Amino acid sequence: MKQKLLVLELWGLGDLIIATPFLQAASEKYDVSLVAKPYAQDLQDPFWPNVRVIPFIAPWTAFRRKYQIWAWPWREILRLRKVAAEKFDIGLTARWDPRNHLLLYLLGTKKRLGFPRWKSQIFLTDPMERPPATAHRYEDWRALARALDLNLPPRERLPVRSRVTGDEVLIHTGAAQPVRVWPLQHYRNIVAKLRQQQHKVQVACDPDQKSWWNEAGEKDVAVPRSVTELMVLVAKAGAFIGNDSGPSHLAAFCGVPTFTIFGPQLPEWFAPLHPAAEWVEGKPCPYKPCSDYCRFSAPHCIENVTEEEVWQRLSAFIGRVLLEPALT
């Protein structure tokens, strides 16, 4: 009988995608349950069909008012008590967050692995040393995998998901936080340049950006309301362009080469998991990386990335990935 493994990945879509190689490997050896935001259920069938998803929105993952404990959804939190009754053999989280470690403890997992912070090793049975601070977030999952005798390949040797090569350029202009959004006017000009070169371009955006695109003349802008709807768009794409965001990570793991415009975060931490992925790094800032809480009136790290420097890199990227056969 397989041991029961409980995994916490409570944050964003991109974080779930980075965790996917671990979840796939772990589900071959363990009976895996994943506590994650509800949209993880959309990833279950295509990526980890043998992983059970326990939907949960952790209140400490909210961007604002996360510490207003009186407003937390206590009914939902208390529903997690039934997880403790399942008596998991092992519980782990790749995020060095004391709240995650406390949750593992409260859920009664016998063996608890994680990277301690602020004395949170008191909640862990097996505190671990984090990979170097410059390492990609995927390396945190590789470290946890080694602790469970699982073998995850280095990031540069991760297999690329096979797919039918699409011929569209998919541009998604949204992101979880405004400080990660490259100015929409720049995106509009990039779209025009690509169409002048006879490329088929599909623009997608977040709901709050739709009216801007419509007023800019983009009548066929897509507004995916779920991960499943986003995957339908990705399936038609031969290349993806976007911000440092969940859609970029999803496209990469679906086998689509990605071009990412970074702002407050670091590419060495969050580059999408695709060997052909490229990016433009955000401008220097003394507070970078700033976890999306900008100290200035405008996020200069991304707003000062010029259209010219993006186009110089992007035009070469598009020429390569739409002319070369898809990696399999």
Q: Which region, left, alpha or beta, applies to residue 266 given φ > 0 means left and ψ of -120 to 50 means alpha? A: beta
- pLDDT exceeds cutoff 90 at 294: no
- pLDDT exceeds cutoff 50 at 328: no
Residues 279 and 267: beta-carbon distance below 8 Å: yes
**Peptide bond preceding 289: is omega within 30 degrees of 0, i.e. cis?**
yes
Type of residue numbered 234:
V
Type of residue numbered 113:
L
Query: Helix 307-321 crosses helix 184-196 at what angle (to 10 degrees)?
Result: 40
Per residue in 256-287, pLDDT tens? 999 999 999 999 999 999 999 999 999 999 88
Q: Nearest Cα to 22, choosing from 157, 158, 160, 152?
A: 152
Look at the domain 168-321 and name its fold. Answer: Rossmann fold (3.40.50)
H-helix or E-strand containing 251? helix 246-253
Q: Which region, left, alpha or beta, applies to residue 255 given φ > 0 means left and ψ of -120 to 50 means alpha? A: left
- pLDDT exceeds cutoff 50 at 325: no
> CA 212 to CA 149: how far, in whole Å?
50
pLDDT at site 293: 78
pLDDT at site 161: 79
User: For the chain, what are the domain ranges?
Assistant: 4-157, 168-321
Give mean pLDDT, residues 84-95. Answer: 89
Type of residue numbered 316:
A
Q: pTM here?
A: 0.90
CB atoms under 10 Å from CB of 29, counted, come to 13
Q: Largest Cα–Cα distance of the chain, in whole Å? A: 60
For residue 326, name the pLDDT band (cuts at 50, 70, 90).
Answer: very low
pLDDT at site 78: 63
For residue 69, name the pLDDT band (cuts at 50, 70, 90).
Answer: low
- pLDDT exceeds cutoff 90 at 170: yes
Look at the domain 4-157 and name its fold. Answer: Rossmann fold (3.40.50)
168-321 matches 4-157 in CATH topology: yes
- Tokens for 168, please give them: 């569209």
What φ, ψ does residue 260 adopt, rounded to 5°?
A: -115, 135
In the block, which residue shows the tokens 């992983």?
51
In the block, which residue shows the tokens 């690509």?
194
CB atoms under 10 Å from CB of 279, counted, come to 19
